[in-house]
Amino acid sequence: MASQQPPPSPPLSVPTTISALTDDLLREVFLRLPDLPSLVCAAFTCRAFLRAARSSPPFRRRFRDLHAPPLLALFREPDMSAVVPAASRSSDPAIAGAFADLLRDDDASEWWTYSQIPYSDEFVQFVNRSTERVVSYNPHMPSLAIFPKKPHDEPYLEFHTLPPDQEHQSPSRVVCVRHDFQWACARVAVFSSHAMKWQIFPESRKPLLQGDMHTISTVVDRFVCWLDLEEDCILALNTATFQFCRMDLPPSLRGSYSRFKIGQTRDGRLCMVNVQECTLSVWLWTPDDVGIGRFVLHKMFPLHAIVKEITKRPVKDNVDVGDLMEVINGFVYLSVVYSRDPQSSEWFLSFCLETAEVNLLFKETRRSYCPVDPYIMVWPPLIHNKEGSETEVTGDSAGADGPVHTKDASPVLFTALQSFKEALIDGDGTKIAEMEAFLLDAELGSLLNRITTLDVALAAGRDRVLRIGARSDICREEMGGEGWWQMFKGVLWRASSRLFAS
């Protein structure tokens, strides 16, 4: 009788480790990380993680759409002193001084910080000590306004940088708007980083606004917008057609003090966000049945219960919105205080217009009574793919992974400024006033140097906050590879659990 052979042993199971995950699975885990600093942490854990984050521009765009960009600093007006949230979570004293002395004047520069209002509405004010020319520079757009030596008698110029549009394959552009204080007429010129030349459009034929006033401009979605509270409207330049249009404010926002901001939703629609009596209202710019656009009420979000949960204060306390700061890519940045408590703390929050999710960004022990502007980082340079990043600047053209907020965007603006006067000389029907409104060659060169100094200081502060605040490679060197992995493993495990639970 033949002896029976024992059954074959089952194959030994090989445990699956995280190193066996494909780049696609790693990116799905990364999407479930809580915030952008956590992604920076993950990217610097090992080379495989860094490769997964760098090698996929679509992943980075998805992550950006799902997570509010981090608040790096709050700049107080008028001196641009910085409050850095990461400083409260780190023992490194260098974070607190990351943005120190941004407006420090250099004796070698012709351009000094304007002493009366050095910083307001995200614009830094500079004055030329020789010619007394005044300019305003917004380093976040970047945008530049050049004011005439004789106010109200000469036109002034505004230059706005438009980020590239990947969907429509449009390059980086700089739009110049030349107008007077009454907006009786305006002329638009556009500089393309691909064509490397200016296109000058005909002058407007009718007054656009009434009244002797100067309005602060901002670039939102496909529009350059000027808010005019005297006429209860927004004057907007459509950057697709380069035609001006008037956007009337909703009836509930006219003729009274309202705290609202112009911004855009996550899908790029122009919107207006208003906060009144602890209720956040969202208005969308929408064409009606005959094609005429108007602001339509989209949603209303009561904030009282949400704020109570975050602040842990009694229900009877009178909560108030301290400041509505910005609306960026579908996220509203605001602060809340308790108005009847003179010693109230101030909580800085982000609010997602799509999900109504509220995140606590930072808590200041005392209320800041001066206006503050958030310094937001849309995407950190720490994990750019240097070989093919969509945010890398190539020549004078930036890529399409969102706005570049400091020195990366300046070359396009600088190149446009340097070629502007030549375009006026060569253009048909050029007016002498347009030439006189522009800077002299010596003024322009000195101004560009001054702006570069500010941009470099902002970029250095940004990188320091991201690196130390996210506990990236600086902590890694201090802790060693094993300690770094142990620190981050819990965060990655929670993200993996959300992936497999979904």
pLDDT at 94: 76
Q: Last residue of some domain: 348, 376, 404?
A: 376
Which stretches of the chain score pLDDT less than 70? 1-19, 89-91, 151-153, 165-170, 210-216, 256-258, 290-291, 315-317, 378-410, 424-437, 467-502
Q: State the Cα–Cα distance between residues 437 and 486, nearest whole angstrom.
A: 60
| Domain stops at, among 323, 351, 376 | 376
Sheet of 270-276, strand order: 259-264, 270-276, 279-287, 293-302
On whether residue 341 sits in a domain, the answer given is yes
**CB 464 within 8 Å of CB 98:** yes
User: In this predicted model, what pLDDT tens digit does every residue of 413-444 receive, in sequence order?
Assistant: 999 998 887 776 655 555 555 666 688 888 89
Model pLDDT, residue 181: 77
With contact defined as beta carbons under 8 Å apart, do 224 and 217 qualify?
Answer: yes
Q: 338 pairs with which residues across the strands? A: 319
**pLDDT value at residue 74:** 87
Beta bridge partner(s), residue 250: none
pLDDT value at residue 5: 67
- Same structural domain for residues 178 and 295? no
Reported as a single tens digit per residue, the pLDDT across 266-289 is: 888 899 999 887 889 999 998 777
**Is the same domain home to 314 and 401?**
no
pLDDT at 125: 94
Residue 81 included in any domain: no
Q: Of 322, 344, 376, which residue sits at a domain end?
A: 376
Residue 487 lies inside a defined structural domain of this protein:
yes
Q: What pairs with residue 359 in β-bridges? A: 350
Residue 327: inside a domain: yes
Q: Do 30 and 163 belong together in one domain? A: no
For residue 464, is it within any domain?
no
The answer to whether the CB of 177 falls within 8 A of the CB of 188 is yes
Distance spanning both ends of the chain, measured CA to CA? 57
213 and 108 fall within a common domain? yes
Which ranges constitute the DSSP H helices of 340-426? 410-426
Does residue 455 contact residue 173 with C-beta atoms inside 8 Å? no
With respect to residue 292, please indicate whether it lies within any of the assigned structural domains: yes
Contact call for residues 368 and 387 (beta carbons, < 8 A) = no
pLDDT at 405: 37
Please check whether residues 405 and 285 belong to one and the same domain: no
Are 127 and 31 found together in one domain? no
Answer yes or no: do 132 and 217 share one domain: yes
pLDDT at 272: 92
Q: 73 lies in a domain?
A: no
CB neighbour burial string for 421-454, b if at least 16 within 10 angstroms, e if fewer: bebbeeeeeeeeebeebbbeeebbebbbebbeeb
Is residue 391 a contact partner of residue 384, using CB atoms and an 8 Å limit? yes
User: Quick one: 169 and 285 in the same domain?
Assistant: no
The total domain count for the chain is: 3
Q: What is the bridge-based pairing of β-strands 233-238 and 186-192?
A: unpaired
Q: Where are the beta strands (DSSP E) in 183-232?
A: 186-192, 197-200, 217-220, 223-228
Domain that holds residue 341: 259-376
Rounded CA separation 18/25 (Å): 10
Structural domain contains residue 92:
no
Q: Tell me, yes or no, whether 278 and 370 share the same domain.
A: yes
Task: Say if residue 410 is in the same domain as residue 360.
Answer: no
User: pLDDT at position 299, please?
Assistant: 92
The verdict on 116 and 216 lying in the same domain is yes
* 214 shares a domain with 120: yes
Task: Judge whether 146 and 128 are in contact, CB under 8 Å.
Answer: no
Task: Output the pTM of the full model.
Answer: 0.78
